[in-house]
Amino acid sequence: QKEVEQDPGPLSVPEGAIVSLNCTYSNSAFQYFMWYRQYSRKGPELLMYTYSSGNKEDGRFTAQVDKSSKYISLFIRDSQPSDSATYLCAMSTPPGNQFYFGTGTSLTVIP
């Protein structure tokens, strides 16, 4: 079983839709949870990170962590064509700073 599972998609939605991206994991020791956005031919860009459980909001983006279910989500409200990218989830276990990645979900927002 992989440490982190992420549906690769592809996911295609109309502009303005609410997008839900998800990852599941198996290691209960994970404490930090990150979401990255990666445009084609670019490096991953950190969108948000959360520590332990709970929600975090930044503009149109909301990250949720449910440690009891080992499940994390990224919601994008009022999706825009500029949100079209691959979204990677990642998790880490301090203090060793080891990181575990999902395979990424490809999202296309259609104007």
Q: Kindly list the residues in this chain that would bind other proteins in the complex (CB under 8 A).
A: 4, 6, 8, 31-32, 34, 36, 41-46, 49, 88, 90, 92-99, 101-104
Of the chain, the end-to-end C-alpha distance in Å amounts to 38
- Smallest gap, in angstroms, from Cβ of residue 73 to other proteins? 18
Cβ closest to other proteins, residue 17 vs residue 56: 56
C-beta separation of 105 from 11 below 8 A: yes
**Residues 82, 32: Cα–Cα separation, whole Å:** 27
C-beta separation of 30 from 92 below 8 A: yes
- The two three-digit tokens of residue 106, written as one number: 């490809």
Cβ closest to other proteins, residue 8 vs residue 16: 8
- Smallest gap, in angstroms, from Cβ of residue 4 to other proteins? 8
- Number of residues in the chain: 111
Cβ closest to other proteins, residue 75 vs residue 101: 101
- Smallest gap, in angstroms, from Cβ of residue 23 to other proteins? 11
